[in-house]
Amino acid sequence: MRLSVLIPVYNEARTIEQVVERVRSLPLPLEIIAIDDASVDGSGNVLERLHSAGRLDALERHTVNRGKGAAIRSGIARATGDVVVIQDADLEYDPVDLPALLKPIIDGRADAVFGSRFQGGPHRVLYYWHSVGNRVLTTLSNMFTNLNLTDMETCYKLVRTDLMKGLPLTADRFGFEVEVTARLAQAGARIWELPISYSGRTYAEGKKITWRDGVAALFHILRYNLFPPDSARRH
């Protein structure tokens, strides 16, 4: 089973090469698709070099910054593997967790697998209020989706490619995590959740999520769950 790893990139010149090499070293058949969302820090040059060296299988470029969700949609359109996963371009998520996350799909037990930062895996100790906010958003999402997830906002969501390509996704920015969770629930997908390690960054180290994104996520939870397009509903 081949894994398509989508890496949306915006101003991650310091870490992107190391992330790509960690993914490339996995003992899995895979393709790596990077999407440069109009970076201005030299990330594009690093990605071009990696692509030329064969470390990337495909490279998409946005001429203007469109947001993480839009970058992921560009990657989904290029994916040719059996399963899709998003890999952030920083060093917060460790690709070494991906083979274990893939197993329930390989075994035919799951259509999607979420990697949870709150199920006991090793993690860096950082911001208390971030964890509280995440749990509040996850709980609210669960109330609408009727799922019992512990980490709706996780980056690591492995989804069968045929299923992912059929989801009506529209979110351009950080609403993607809320939307894809809602769409999977509306499609009746079989979802598993497994623990992962997590090494969160501080703001000084380049973390981009702020309280404003949390407020926006509340709006997205209501929007994507209460007003799904007809194509999102299970038939």
pLDDT in tens, 107-135: 999 999 999 999 876 555 555 667 777 88
Q: What is the mean pLDDT of residues 9-22?
A: 97
**pLDDT of amino acid 132:** 79
Poorest-pLDDT segment among 87-96, 143-152, 155-164, 225-234? 225-234
Burial class (CB in 10 A: 0-12, 13-18, 19+), 16: buried
Tell me how far the alpha carbon of residue 41 is from its chain's centroid. Answer: 22
Please report, for the domain that includes residue 31, its CATH number. 3.90.550.10
Domain of residue 42, residue span: 3-232
User: How many distinct structural domains can be found in the chain?
Assistant: 1
Contact present, 193 and 150 (Cβ < 8 Å): yes
Residue burial 65-83, b: 16+ Cβ < 10 Å; e: rest: ebbbbbbbbbbbeebebbb
